[in-house]
Structure 1
């Protein structure tokens, strides 16, 4: 099992839809995939068509996160939601309770890591959608990962915030020395826009020394936004579209970089 956390402390970079579509693409190739919505906003849950407003806190990882006996964690795990060939641990606003209560817990940074080590079912990939913040839940999401996939919008503002992001990952090596970046994923890309092209080149120049830069995901509002509103991966909502093909290329490139068959 390999665990990747999708993380960028800046919002609006397409992180959640990238997590969903990346996971679906892996599952469509025969991999067993678990998605973990670790953001109290619950956008990944909604983007997969699950009714976050109809769920209660027992459907989330809240109880397992706050369980003080490590050996009792597995008994506190909820059943996963099975959707679009994926397994999902959903999130609701109740997960925000953990943000404050974990501060008083022993091993607070490793709670999610402990949970993922005690899953009742085997997975090939676990993808975590982290909050766009720098709080306790985000630290848990990063420490639980083998490495980090960072979506970066092809906008100068997004690139300008990257030093803070890389510094945070470096500081977390005090807790997990092996933590680093698996890849950077350019998102929101408009190839018709000179600004986007220039920023994409800047991303490749500045970030390639840290980790591979994957092929860009072109922004198609009619595909990405409507897919999220319909609660479907973009490949399900509009199969064969440019948006679907972009994610297929991203996952193929990523698996090749990991030395796995695409």
Structure 2
């Protein structure tokens, strides 16, 4: 089982939809995939068609996170939601309770990592959608990962935020030595826009020394926004679209880096 956290402390980079579509693409190729919505906003949950308003705190990882007996975590794990060939631990606003209460808990940074050692069934990949904030939940999501996948929007504003992104990951070496990036995923790309093309080149030049830069995912509001509103991966909502093809290429490149047949 390999655990990747999708992380960027900046909002508006397409992180949640990238987590969803990346996970779906892996599952469509025969891999067993667990998605974890670790953001109390619950956008990944909604983007997969689960009704978070009908879910209570017992549906999330809240109880397992706050369990004081490390060996008792498995008793607090809720059943996953099966959706679009994926397993999902959903999130609701109740998960925000953990943000405050974990502060006083021993091993607070490693709570999610411990949970993932006690999953009731095996997975090939676990993908975590982290909050955009820099709080305790985010640290848990980062420490639990084997490596990070960072969606980076092809905007100059995103370039300005890269030093902060890499510095935070470096500082987490105090808690998780060796944590680093598995790949960067350029998002929100419009190849018709010279600005986007220039920024994409800057992303490749600045980041390739840290980790591979995957093929860019083009942004089409009619595909990505409507897919999210319909609660479907973009490959399900609009198969054969540019958005679907781009994610397929990104996942193929990623699996090639891992040495896994795509």
Normalising by the residue count of structure 1, what TM-score does the alignment of the two structures yield? 1.00
Tell me the residue number matched to 2:227: 227
Q: What is the match of residue 181 of structure 1? A: 181
**What is the RMSD computed on CA atoms of the aligned residues?**
0.4
Unaligned runs of 5+ in 1: none
The residue that corresponds to 1:117 in the other structure is 117
Please give the alpha-carbon distance, in whole angstroms, between the structure 2 residues aligned to 1:228 and 1:25: 16
1:71-126 per-residue CA deviation (whole Å, 9 max, x = no partner) reads: 10000000000000000000000000000100000000000000001000000000
- The yes-or-no answer on 1:47 pairing with 2:15 is no
TM-superposed deviation, 1:174: 0.9
Report the Cα offset of residue 250 of structure 1: 0.3
C-alpha offsets along residues 135-166 of structure 1, whole Å, 9 cap, x if unaligned?
00000000000000000000000110010010
The answer to whether the aligner puts 1:216 opposite 2:213 as a matched pair is no
Aligned equivalents of 2:9, 2:207: Cα separation in 1: 16
The match for 1:129 is 129
Q: Residues 54-76 of structure 1: CA distance to partner in whole angstroms, max 9, x if unpaired?
A: 10000000000000000100000
Shift of 1:259: 1.0
Structure 1 runs (4+) deviating above 3 angstroms are none
Residue 103 of structure 1 corresponds to 103
Deviation at 1:247, TM superposition (A): 0.3
**Which whole-Å CA distance do the structure 1 matches of 2:178 and 2:79 have between them?**
30
Q: Using the alignment, how far apart are the partners of 1:116 and 1:52 within structure 2?
A: 22
Q: Give distance in 1, aligned partners of 2:155 and 2:60.
A: 34
Partner of residue 57, structure 1: 57
TM-score, length basis structure 2: 1.00
- Supply the distance in 2 between the matched residues of 1:258 and 1:139 (Cα, whole angstroms): 25
Q: Using the alignment, how far apart are the partners of 1:73 and 1:64 within structure 2? A: 5
Classify the secondary structure of the residue corresponding to 1:170.
Answer: helix
